[in-house]
Chains A and B, each alone.
Chain A
Amino acid sequence: DGGITQSPKYLFRKEGQNVTLSCEQNLNHDAMYWYRQDPGQGLRLIYYSQIVNDFQKGDIAEGYSVSREKKESFPLTVTSAQKNPTAFYLCASSMAHNLYNEQFFGPGTRLTVL
């Protein structure tokens, strides 16, 4: 089955620690995205990548970093510089980053900072 997998589903972190969230897709999509969702709010874009070895900052990139070394993988690192990292993180992919293609979402990772 083609799709997007995110791991782990739940993640707990102590303050001051970096943590990396995994996102893998087997849809052969060129574009990948990371969003943050807070209770009662819409999704906010953290980073996106239109193609391998390239990525751009979204609206709330501060305190986060990404890499795109392989087409199928787009890991997100939440650094200790992120002031309020507790949230639900969603990864998405799209055939291409353009006007028409929809984005497909993974099941999400819920990060809690203790």
Chain B
Amino acid sequence: GNSVTQMEGPVTLSEEAFLTINCTYTATGYPSLFWYVQYPGEGLQLLLKATKADDKGSNKGFEATYRKETTSFHLEKGSVQVSDSAVYFCALKGPSDDYKLSFGAGTTVTVRA
């Protein structure tokens, strides 16, 4: 079945540092890829998505590019803020698994002022 592996945390950064969270996947065919963010005690919010190879999703300064050749969808942000402290989840869905969303374990990011 489909699966997602993302970088283990926790990750601690200083404000204005560069953030990268690695995400690789295993799937049959051409899945859609997503990054979700979860703030403490809340539900998940969609951060960005990409639905075909070489697509770049972007939102709020975050970017991720759908790389079919390396089966990756790494999340990046050039200059983080304290407000970016959250848990980040990489996820995918594809036809081989009835379009069910499969999540990575999540990466906790803490940004210090």
Q: Which residues of A contact B (CB under 8 A)?
A: 4, 6, 33, 40-45, 48, 56, 58-59, 90, 92, 97-100, 102-108
Give me the interface of B with A, judged by CB distance under 8 Å. 4, 31-32, 34, 36, 41-46, 49, 51, 89, 93-95, 98-101, 103-106
Contacts of B101 in A (CB 8 A): 33, 43, 45, 103
Instruction: Tell me the bound Cα distance from A90 to B103 in angstroms.
Output: 13
Question: Are the C-beta atoms of B45 and A100 separated by less than 8 Å?
Answer: no
10 closest A-B pairs by beta carbon, nearest first, are A42-B103, A105-B43, A105-B44, A43-B103, A42-B105, A107-B43, A102-B46, A108-B43, A106-B43, A99-B32
Sample of 26 A–B contacts (CB below 8 Å): A6-B43, A40-B105, A41-B106, A42-B4, A42-B89, A42-B105, A42-B106, A43-B44, A43-B89, A44-B103, A45-B101, A58-B100, A59-B100, A90-B43, A100-B51, A102-B34, A102-B46, A103-B101, A104-B46, A105-B36, A105-B45, A106-B43, A107-B42, A107-B43, A108-B41, A108-B42
